[in-house]
Amino acid sequence: MKPTKSLALTKPDDWHVHLRSGEMLPKVLSDTATSFNRAIVMPNLSPPIRTTSDAVLYRREIEAALEKNSDFTPLMTCYLTDETDPDDLISGFTADVFSAAKLYPAGATTNSDSGVTNVLLLDSVFSAMSDAGMPLLIHGEVVDHKIDIFDREHKFIELILEPLRSRHPNLKIVFEHITTKNAVDYVRSGQPDKLAATITPHHLSVNRSDLFAGGIRPHLYCLPIPKREQHRIALVEAACSGNKRFFLGTDSAPHLIEEKESSCGCAGVYNSPNALQTYIAIFEKNDALDELNSFASLNGPEFYNLKPNTEEIEFVKRSSPVSIDDLVVGSSRVKTFEPPFPLFWTAK
């Protein structure tokens, strides 16, 4: 591909984002709504979004926090628990309140303590979702302290995901924020209309060694945790391949700086301000800019049975790196993700 100084994309959607609530919400929402037309909003608030009525109230809070004349659309998700009511869930889906349901194994990540303790308890829920065509979004890690943290994703495939798909072959599943070659290979082996995966800009950019480069780097700590370089390379190859099973999901997850830089720092990377620029840099480096529009703007809507956006967003390449600013929230701030390479692209 010839070098380019401008790039036009169909306006992307973010198929996995954390917007929080309260004082944090309008701050982080602005960054997401500027770059993306729609976003799948994670439900792991405190307390979580467990019912249709919870989602209606949260959507109203998001819409009230949007800037005037914004055309951003939040796509709501249900936080599954051992007691999820399938009738309420499917009612929320058919009423266009829920776009998907989220499975957090209990204790797997931030605000997941109320999550599912045993997926077998939800087989009636998964059957109802299969019949309705409702997507299941999965944080794919086993919760077992006997299993090394770097092995929890591929063990999840073996112990939970494959048996789940065998029991519910018609269930649409998004294996979210994948981090391993094992997950890439597994998703490639499935039906493209039933199994897909999101890939984050930070998992495409860093490996586990980057977490300890010159000391502990708390602002790179996230779950699932970054893996070996061979896995990062597999993620890049999958994202840049043009395979419609893979699409954009930032998993942008803001935490105040004091919550990250503490004796037990929170898991999460805030990347909404420069997520698209990071993706562009990675695709450019791998001579795959021709595949970026599919990954960022087409594959996700197709899996969710939605039409792509009609608006375009244009980027230009600068001669000097783009500065990366932190997000000010009250008297504190949220650290914005800095990939281990300069960013030269900016929205026009």
Give whole-number Cα distances, 279 to 60, 124, 215, in Å.
31, 38, 26
- Identify the CA nearest to 122 among candidates 89, 149, 146: 89
* Of 210, 251, 325, 326, catalytic: 251
1 band by pLDDT with thresholds 50, 70 and 90: very low
List, in order, residues 6 or more apart from 322 with CB less than 8 Å away: 274, 277, 342, 343, 344, 345, 346
Residue type, 313: I
List, in order, residues 6 or more apart from 276 with CB less than 8 Å away: 9, 12, 35, 296, 313, 315, 345, 347
Check residue 4 and give its pLDDT: 66
pLDDT above 70: residue 226: yes
Check residue 108 and give its pLDDT: 79
110 band by pLDDT with thresholds 50, 70 and 90: confident
Residue 102 carries which DSSP code? Answer: E
Say which residue the tokens 């994948």 belong to: 178
Check residue 109 and give its pLDDT: 84
How would you classify the pairing of strands 332-334 and 327-329? Answer: antiparallel
Q: What is the mean pLDDT of the chain?
A: 96
pLDDT tens, position by position, 162-178: 999 999 999 999 999 99
pTM of full prediction above 0.95 = yes
Domain boundary assignment for the chain: 6-347
CATH code at 6-347: 3.20.20.140
pLDDT above 90: residue 93: yes
Check residue 293 and give its pLDDT: 98
Quick check: is 210 catalytic? no
